[in-house]
Structure 1
Amino acid sequence: MTYKHILVPVDESPISYAAVEQALALAKPLNCQVTITSVIAVDPFVGVDFYKVAPAITDYFIEAEKNAQLNLAEIKQSFIRDGITVDTKIVRGVSPAEGIMQVADEVGADLIIMGSHGRTGFKKLVLGSVAQEVLTQSPIPVLIMKV
């Protein structure tokens, strides 16, 4: 199978960088376009009184957006240096898995490369797994980098 467009969802974790490295290794020889995405979710504030935390929410989103933009710009340069066509996207206000699936559909990705902590058992049940959710929802192949 040949791929034309790879989606790489990232956050600020070392696992994201493993996915980026894998995408760099695959994109050039396969002549793939790459989209790197970051999802800014509202998760930290679910279930709290909006009026009491409105300034905190605003500060959170401003800071999260700034960090995501800087992170994406830095990662983008790695692909540009290797002569790989790359784009970046930030998704706001949805769950990480939902945002990843939206971008995959929007850009016509045919492969998703992402990291996973590899949690199992109780930790996975309590903490959830974005990678697992994407894996079960995705109609396209998903390559999971486990660190």
Structure 2
Amino acid sequence: MTRHLLVPMDDSERARAALEHALAVFPDDEITVIHAIDDLEAGYGGGQPVTSDDADATEPDFFADVRSIAAEYDRTVETVVVEGTSADAILEYADEAGVDGIVMGSEGRSGVSRMLLGSVAEAVTRRASVPVTIVP
């Protein structure tokens, strides 16, 4: 049975490691890579989801790397960009899309933003309704 996994992605090595882990360990599962444009980091946006149709305007540059990594595993992945506080946006999408699990890096933020905003991985792990795999 094919499962649907969600891999939150930012432009960090740990997020890339999580994607590679998901591709290697779950070769038969559908993978969606999600990038949350954080309201706090994006100037207090409206918290609205950005659909795949709007991806050209909002897709981060590192999604090209995401597709290259997937191609190395002879896979394709769906990509989606959402707007909202990172953990909330990830969890909301996971619930709406009916994902079966989340695979994410242990941290993406560093320095002051990590201290002020807390760990997205920790918030997702505590509140997710599906299993969460944290990749160091």
Q: Which TM-score band applies after superposition, normalised by the shorter structure?
A: 0.7 to 0.9
Q: CA deviation at 1:124?
A: 6.6
**What TM-score comes out, normalization by structure 2 length?**
0.75
Q: Which amino acid aligns with 1:10?
A: M
Select the structure that is richer in helix. 1
* Aligned-pair Cα RMSD in Å: 2.6
Question: Any residues of structure 2 matched to 1:92-111 within 5 Å, and which?
Answer: 92=83, 94-111=84-101
Distance 1:136 1:117, change over 3 A: same
Identity %: 35
User: What is the SS of the residue equivalent to 1:43?
Assistant: coil
Larger radius of gyration: 1
Unaligned runs of 5+ in 1: 47-63
Q: CA deviation at 1:81?
A: 4.3
Question: Any residues of structure 2 matched to 1:13-52 within 5 Å, and which?
Answer: 13-28=12-27, 31-44=28-41, 45-46=43-44
2:107 matched to which residue of 1?
117
Q: Which amino acid aligns with 2:81?
A: I
Hey, what's the Cα distance between the residues in 1 that align with 2:73 and 2:135?
21
Aligned: 1:145 with 2:135: yes
User: What is the SS of the residue equivalent to 1:134?
Assistant: helix
Distance 1:35 1:118, change over 3 A: closer
- Kindly tell me the number of residue pairs found equivalent between the two proteins: 120
Q: CA deviation at 1:107?
A: 2.5
2:63 is matched with which residue: 60, 64, 72? 72
List 4+ stretches of structure 1 deviating above 3 A. Answer: 123-127
1:51 matched to which residue of 2?
none
Report if aligned partners of 1:34, 1:84 keep a CA contact under 8 Å in 2. Answer: no
2:73 is matched with which residue: 66, 69, 82? 82
**What TM-score comes out, normalization by structure 1 length?**
0.70
Distance 1:127 1:88, change over 3 A: same
Unaligned runs of 5+ in 2: 45-56
Report if aligned partners of 1:91, 1:99 keep a CA contact under 8 Å in 2. Answer: yes
